[in-house]
């Protein structure tokens, strides 16, 4: 499985299916990939209705025929534009093209619906994308129910967890590996991933990627 950080909270997961989560690309100053370069996608997951997460999800779905997965209100918006969508809500699970998506709690805000995180199960791997969130004790349930192989956690502070809280989230989720996201896109969310790695210590393997770089998950 190939995990590519596209900048901000946007990630690409390529296994037996190709998944994009929060594909904020065209307006993302940190992104090195444009929506025009996305030629293949099976599933596009959106964690919540903010422009830096909804991003280019709809155009990518229209171009590739991907199924959009998101909270009910986002799915309704997508279907109104002719996109195949699977709406869901926090606590629920959908299976799309052999991939399981579990929607979990996130503490944040959004335009429509509710903010969420997602747990994705594909190819015998479990990945947790926290979306935009504060630290919450609900993350302990991520460990109890899912024990993720790899997590994407925001570290940029101000609008999400900062470094200290994100390091505690690693402890709560008991994730084996973690990729920091949602930082250094804009000055307001500048953060030092090396400091995050230092605070995580030996609790998990911290994988620091530059936008466009890929990590292989064996």
Q: What is the pLDDT of residues 161-207, one digit of tens each?
A: 999 999 999 999 999 999 999 999 999 999 999 999 999 999 999 99
Q: What pLDDT is recorded for position 69?
A: 99
Number of other CB atoms surrounding residue 184 within 10 Å: 20
Q: Quick: pLDDT tens for 67-84.
A: 999 999 999 999 999 999
Residue ranges of the chain whose pLDDT lies below 70? none
Tokens read off for 78: 């997508």
Q: What pLDDT is recorded for position 22?
A: 98
Answering whether pTM is above 0.75, one says yes
Q: Which long-range contacts (CB under 8 A, 24 or more apart) does 4-7 make?
A: 4/209, 4/212, 4/213, 4/214, 4/215, 5/179, 5/181, 5/209, 5/210, 5/211, 5/212, 5/213, 6/31, 6/32, 6/33, 6/211, 6/212, 7/31, 7/32, 7/33, 7/185, 7/211, 7/212
Domain annotation for the chain: domains and CATH numbers:
2-209 (3.60.15.10)
Find the helix packing angle between 72-80 and 57-64, rounded to 10°. Answer: 50
Calculate the alpha carbon distances from 53 to 48, 167, 217 in Å. Answer: 7, 22, 24
Q: What pLDDT is recorded for position 144?
A: 98
**Any idea which residue has 């280019």 for tokens?**
56
């Amino acid at each position: 499985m190939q995990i590519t950080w596209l900048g901000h909270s946007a990630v690409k997961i390529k296994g037996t299916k190709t998944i994009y989560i929060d594909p904020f690309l065209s307006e993302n100053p940190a992104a090195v990939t444009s929506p025009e370069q996305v030629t293949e996608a099976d599933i596009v997951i959106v964690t919540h209705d903010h422009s830096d997460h909804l991003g280019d999800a709809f155009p990518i779905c229209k171009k590739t025929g991907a199924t959009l997965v998101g909270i009910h209100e986002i799915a309704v918006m997508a279907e109104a534009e002719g996109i195949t969508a699977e709406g869901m809500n926090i606590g629920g699970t959908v299976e799309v093209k052999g991939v399981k998506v579990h929607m979990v709690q996130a503490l944040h805000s959004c335009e429509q619906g509710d903010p969420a995180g997602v747990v994705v199960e594909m190819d015998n791997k479990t990945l947790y994308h926290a979306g935009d969130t504060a630290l919450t004790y609900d993350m302990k349930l991520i460990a109890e129910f899912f024990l993720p192989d790899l997590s994407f956690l925001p570290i940029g502070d101000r609008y999400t967890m900062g470094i200290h809280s994100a390091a505690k989230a690693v402890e709560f989720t008991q994730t084996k590996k973690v990729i920091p996201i949602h930082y250094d896109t804009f000055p307001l969310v500048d953060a030092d991933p090396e400091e995050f790695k230092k605070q995580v210590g030996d609790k998990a393997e911290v994988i620091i990627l530059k936008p466009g770089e890929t990590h292989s998950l064996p």
